[in-house]
Amino acid sequence: MGEKFVLKSCFITIFCSLLAFGLMNTFASAEPEEQAADYEKWSKIAIDVVKLNYPERKVSDYSYKGREEISDVQAKDTFELNTEGEQGTIKVNVIILFNPKTDSLISLSLEEMR
């Protein structure tokens, strides 16, 4: 009976360790997914604003330049978009200032780079 108890407690310890490790990996990987979803939201807004401001041009490419944490209630995401039209390519920088706690837009600016 003693061998069964040791084997059973060993199995329980291994199972609990694997479960805890799996949960840690799940929670550790949730943060980048949340950031990716956040990144997608602001990138869609950046693309839509460029399309509204340049209706005759096509957005051909965009890149996410990064996030700057300004304070607890302000962060800034920067995007660079290329637009194509009859006069060639125009790069447009989109700067989105938002509150990361409330996920609300504070300001948005466009800067045309020729």
CATH numbers and ranges of domains, the chain: 2-113 (3.10.450.390)
Distance of CA 95 to the CA centre of its chain: 15
Residue 110 carries which side chain, given as an amino acid letter? L
pLDDT at 1: 52
pLDDT at 40: 87
Low-confidence ranges of the chain (pLDDT < 50): 4-30
Query: Cβ distance 75 to 69 under 8 Å?
Result: yes
pLDDT at 37: 56
0.75 cut: is pTM over it?
A: no
